[in-house]
Structure 1
Amino acid sequence: MLQNRETITQRKDGRFMGRFIIDHESNGKPVYQYVYGKTYEETEQKLRIAREIESQFLSGRCVTIYKVYGEWLNAIVNRVKESTYANYTMKFEKHILPVFGDMLCTEVTSAKINAFIKDKMDSGLSAGYVRDLFAVFKALLIYAQEEYNIKLSLKNVSLPKAEKKKSPKMSDEQQKKLVGYVKNHIDLTGLGVLLSLFMGLRIGELCGLKWGDIDLVHKILRINRTVQRICKQNGSRKTMLIVTAPKSSNSRRCIAIPDFLMPYLLAFKGSDNDYILSGSEKIIEPRTMQYRYKKILEAADIESSNYHKLRATFATNCIENGFDVKTLSCVLGHSSVTLTLERYVRPSRQYERRMMNSLSARM
């Protein structure tokens, strides 16, 4: 007998049986695990191996979500972008850890996650955002399962359905007013607006654009970087501005420059290392560009909207003017044609009617 916890005895059939305590029932009665061997030495070795395995398993029963969170961050820090890492930490520290942080991993159940999801939906978060919260939490739970041999079932988690809303475009009248105003008051900010409206640039890509990225001879614009403001990784609410690689490998792309933009680009051409929006090596960050854009809308007597609406307008205009979707997807830097169709393409009613009437015109 080993400290009244493990024993090895010989059975009537000649085999040896080893047992050790793995748990206790609610009434205090011990729960045993058994191993068998032909000899005492074989049984003792099996008992030692079983104890080590069970010890590792039991250690997982006592690990908290907060402890696994720290380990998981260390595991992913070198394989995700800085902005992605900051996004994950924000979601955990703002939403997930306050609810689950002190909870043992083995205490996490589908029912508790469903209650968490309902609470977040009731607080006004969108279905898409709540699904994103679960996705990052699930990644951590999978890590816990693999590292600590914890059995967690998530098959009964019920996720809200996220509506795939297409980004609305500017009306034709608004576009004419905007372009007319920008042309009459052309400056570097206005040039940036034209690049987004007629080339589909994201605001972060525009802020990261340098004159060296533009080949005026071959009329090509290259997207090599993006500018973002992210939360710092020290747990504070402070943010920092970063210049990083584009959103994805598909986002690093070359785009043909429309001929009518060439005179404006030639007029403002600066040194290769200067950012286009500032005309110097100083970065104009996205929220500053967003503010300047809204001032332009106000001056042009156009309803205020988010800067991203320019990109949505470009995408819809392309489809309405006969762009094939595959080409448009490449210009936008999307990973798939499906993403382009689901996110941006929503032809106007006038275009729809024109296409419907074109069928009868062929008869």
Structure 2
Amino acid sequence: MVSQIILFCEKKKRLKNVILKPKINHLLSMAAILNRKTHRIEKKNALFKRIYRQKCCQERGYTMARRGENIYKRKDGRWEGRFKSGIKADGTAKYSSIYGKTYAEVKAELSEKRVKTTVSAVPRDLTLNNLFSIWFADIRLKVKESTYMNYRMKYEKHISLTLGKTLYDKLTVEKLNSFIQCKLSSGLSAKYTADIAGVIKSVCRFAKKRFGYEDKSEFMVIPKGKAKEKELLDKAGQTRLNSYLIANPTLSNVGILLSAATGIRIGELCALKWENIDLEKKILTVRNTAQRIKNIGGTTATKLVVTSPKSSSSVREIPLPEFIIPLLSKAKANSGCYLLSGTRSIVEPRVMQYRFKRVLSDLSLPDVSFHSLRHGFATNCIAIGVDVKTLSEILGHSSVEITLNRYVHSSM
């Protein structure tokens, strides 16, 4: 009995599917066709609506506004046109409106206003401080964080207090040159003063591009001075230092020796991980650099950041000398660990400076900077016949001139 009931239900279900399924499919297809027709009708209706509006406008004696003209008909029957009448102190556009009885009247007056405000849109009340604020907001995401903070530091320390309140419209070449001369007289080097001038030039170019101002820095005098020659260890001092570092292969000492043997910068050394050192191929890859920068809005005054190197040419591969391979092999740690700590904690550049100074003091060697190791490496490479182009690539310079002018010292 139960089996018969089940059989009956199955037959009934099959019968239901045979009858209803085609009807459901037919209804779905009809709905799809109806939707397509409705969409076409809506498109036609929108077109007919616009044509109808144009006819009504012609019958009533006025022209219909076009898209993008910023001309609209108000509820009170008047026409309104909006135009850019100037720029606010924060750099945003300032708009004004004109009104008329007809579209043609507003359009004609709007054209005149736009021509007149092409020059008057240039703001006349922006100070240099205002311009720097707008410029900083503009470049915030365009440059590296360290570069941005470098610009801010130069502005806050040297430019803001002296020139900040000056209206840009009243800024003159004489004022800028006087400012540069004042900085040189205060004891700043020609190179550093030129860097400050470069920041001012960037803001003046920005003012010209953004607001249509004259570039006030076009004829500003940029100081040129020969960079102070780096004090280096002599041959005997280098030999004593290298012998000490090899005999005492702590992680810091191996790092100092590596800098002397490859010419990498102190920030690049601190950011170096074991994954960047291939002992089999004897290649060191520079991909990052570490430095401490000002921490705006943070809980501490400064913060340590690890970013990409100074420039695209600073990302490079450097061959490792044979004598340092055994020392690196003994010190090797996991790939994610930093070379100088052997852990995932970074040793910052300031700490390495102190450790290097301590080594020099213990050996009674001259108090040279850590960066002098890089200069010494370049000079030694030239002395043994390494061509300048290859040396420039190893040092990560963008041009051979930088290598020759700044890093190659006389061996006499």
Same fold (TM over 0.5): yes
Determine whether 1:268 maps to 2:321: no
TM-score w.r.t. length of structure 2: 0.72
Q: Paired residue for 2:406? A: 343
Q: Paired residue for 1:56? A: 121
SS in 1 for 2:284: strand
Kindly tell me: are residues 272 and 47 of structure 1, through their superposed partners in 2, closer, same or farther at Cα, counting changes over 3 Å? same
Please identify, of 281-290 and 230-239, the stretch whose mean Cα deviation from structure 2 is larger: 230-239
Q: d(CA) in 2 for partners of 1:181 and 1:221?
A: 23
1:222 deviates by: 0.7
Kindly tell me: are residues 43 and 211 of structure 1, through their superposed partners in 2, closer, same or farther at Cα, counting changes over 3 Å? closer
1:157 deviates by: 2.0
Higher relative contact order (CA 8 A, sep 6+): 1
Matches within 5 A, 1:86-165: 86-165=149-228
Q: d(CA) in 1 for partners of 2:236 and 2:358?
A: 18
1:337 deviates by: 1.0
Q: d(CA) in 1 for partners of 2:107 and 2:303?
A: 61
Kindly tell me: are residues 45 and 212 of structure 1, through their superposed partners in 2, closer, same or farther at Cα, counting changes over 3 Å? closer
> Any conservation in 2 of the 1:273–1:281 contact (CA below 8 Å)?
yes
Identity of aligned residues (%): 41
Q: Indicate which of 307, 311, 321 corresponds to 1:248.
A: 311
TM-score w.r.t. length of structure 1: 0.81
Once the two structures are superposed, residues 237-285 of structure 1 have per-residue CA deviations (whole angstroms, 9 ceiling, x without a partner) of 9211000111111111111111111110110110001101011111100
SS in 1 for 2:369: coil
Return the index of the structure with the highest Cα Rg: 2
Once the two structures are superposed, residues 269-307 of structure 1 have per-residue CA deviations (whole angstroms, 9 ceiling, x without a partner) of 100011010111111000100000010011112111110
Q: d(CA) in 1 for partners of 2:288 and 2:298?
A: 26
> Any conservation in 2 of the 1:168–1:312 contact (CA below 8 Å)?
no
Q: Paired residue for 1:239? A: 302
Q: d(CA) in 1 for partners of 2:108 and 2:308?
A: 58
Once the two structures are superposed, residues 108-159 of structure 1 have per-residue CA deviations (whole angstroms, 9 ceiling, x without a partner) of 1101111111111111111111111111111111111222222244344223
Aligned length: 309
Matches within 5 A, 1:19-98: 44-57=109-122, 60-98=123-161
For structure 2, the 5+ residue unaligned runs are 1-103
> Any conservation in 1 of the 2:233–2:368 contact (CA below 8 Å)?
no
> Any conservation in 2 of the 1:168–1:309 contact (CA below 8 Å)?
yes
> Any conservation in 1 of the 2:295–2:301 contact (CA below 8 Å)?
yes
Matches within 5 A, 1:154-233: 154-233=217-296
Please identify, of 325-334 and 143-152, the stretch whose mean Cα deviation from structure 2 is larger: 143-152
Q: Paired residue for 1:328? A: 391
Moved beyond 6 Å, runs of 4+:
39-43
Give the partner amino acid of 1:281. R
Give the partner amino acid of 2:193. V
RMSD (Å) for aligned C-alpha atoms: 2.0
Give the partner amino acid of 1:238. A
Once the two structures are superposed, residues 310-340 of structure 1 have per-residue CA deviations (whole angstroms, 9 ceiling, x without a partner) of 1111110000011111111111111111110
Q: Paired residue for 1:352? A: none
Kindly tell me: are residues 209 and 88 of structure 1, through their superposed partners in 2, closer, same or farther at Cα, counting changes over 3 Å? same
Kindly tell me: are residues 154 and 247 of structure 1, through their superposed partners in 2, closer, same or farther at Cα, counting changes over 3 Å? closer
SS in 2 for 1:227: strand
1:236 deviates by: 9.9
Q: d(CA) in 2 for partners of 1:97 and 1:235?
A: 22
> Any conservation in 2 of the 1:106–1:152 contact (CA below 8 Å)?
no
> Any conservation in 1 of the 2:207–2:215 contact (CA below 8 Å)?
no
Q: Paired residue for 2:32? A: none
Q: d(CA) in 1 for partners of 2:293 and 2:286?
A: 20
Q: d(CA) in 2 for partners of 1:124 and 1:215?
A: 46
Kindly tell me: are residues 234 and 123 of structure 1, through their superposed partners in 2, closer, same or farther at Cα, counting changes over 3 Å? farther
1:45 deviates by: 4.8
SS in 1 for 2:390: helix
Q: d(CA) in 2 for partners of 1:47 and 1:236?
A: 54
Please identify, of 304-313 and 68-77, the stretch whose mean Cα deviation from structure 2 is larger: 68-77
Q: d(CA) in 1 for partners of 2:190 and 2:356?
A: 29
Give the partner amino acid of 2:116. R
SS in 1 for 2:293: strand
